[in-house]
Chain A
Amino acid sequence: EDKVVQSPLSLVVHEGDTVTLNCSYEVTNFRSLLWYKQEKKAPTFLFMLTSSGIEKKSGRLSSILDKKELFSILNITATQTGDSAIYLCAVGGFSGTYKYIFGTGTRLKVLA
C-alpha cells in the first residue's frame, strides 16, 4: 500500500535553532516529492524534488531526496517565529491512476 510517513509529528524549538523534518515514502512508480508549508490556511509550495533534482535550497530552507532509501528531509536553519506551521510532504506516483499522497505533517512551533 502506498504511504507517506512524516516525523516527528510535532516539534517545539527556540528561535535560532536548526530543525530537520523527515519524510519517508513507499509509492508505486515514484515521480516526485513535494514539501508544503501550511499556516492557518491553504498549503503553500516550498520545494519539488525528482530524480533529476534531488537537492533544493531557498534561503534558510533546504531539502534533499534519497531515492535509494526512500526518504527526504527538510532543513530549516536559524528558525524564526514565522516558521511556525505544519510542514507537509506529498509524493506523486502512478499505479494505474495518478496518485498524490500526503503525509500527516509535522507541526513546528518556534518560540521567541
Chain B
Amino acid sequence: EAQVTQNPRYLITVTGKKLTVTCSQNMNHEYMSWYRQDPGLGLRQIYYSMNVEVTDKGDVPEGYKVSRKEKRNFPLILESPSPNQTSLYFCASSQTSGGPYNEQFFGPGTRLTVL
C-alpha cells in the first residue's frame, strides 16, 4: 500500500530534550516536506527536500533540523524543544515531474506536546 508513515504518532516531552520524528514513504517520491498545523494558523511549511541531500527552509524553520540521506526517509529533528513547538506535525511527499507543486500525500500526523 502506497503510504507515508510517521513515528511516533503521539509524544509528550520536556523542554530541551532532543527528539526525532521519523517520516518514511514507499512511493519513490523525490519531494518530501514537513508541516506544522496550529489552530487558526493552518499548515505551515517547516522544511522541504527536493531529493537526497537537497533540503531547504520553509516558512517556519527555526528550532528544527532535517536530513535526507535516503530517498524514502526525511526525519525531523528538534535539538532543544520548547513549548512553542507544541503542535501537530505532518510529513508529506510528492512527485516532482513538472515541479514540486503536485498532489502531496500526507502522513497520519504526530501530535507533539512540549512541557
Contact = CB atoms under 8 A, between A and B. Distances in A.
Is chain A's interface secondary structure helix, strand, loop, or mixed overall? Answer: strand
Chain B interface residue count: which class?
Answer: 20 to 34
Nearest to B42: A104
Contacts of B50: 98
A42 B108 CA distance: 5
Contacts, number: 63
B74 interface: no
Contacts of A31: 99, 101
A64 interface: no
A101 B109 CA distance: 18
B43 interface: yes
Contacts of B109: 41-42
Nearest to A40: B109
Of the four ranges (under 10, 10 to 19, 20 to 34, 35 or more), the interface on chain A belongs to 20 to 34
Interface in B62-82: none
A100 B103 contact: no
Given A97-B56, A100-B48, A103-B42, A43 B99 contact: no
Interface of B: 33, 35, 40-45, 48, 50, 56-59, 90, 99-109
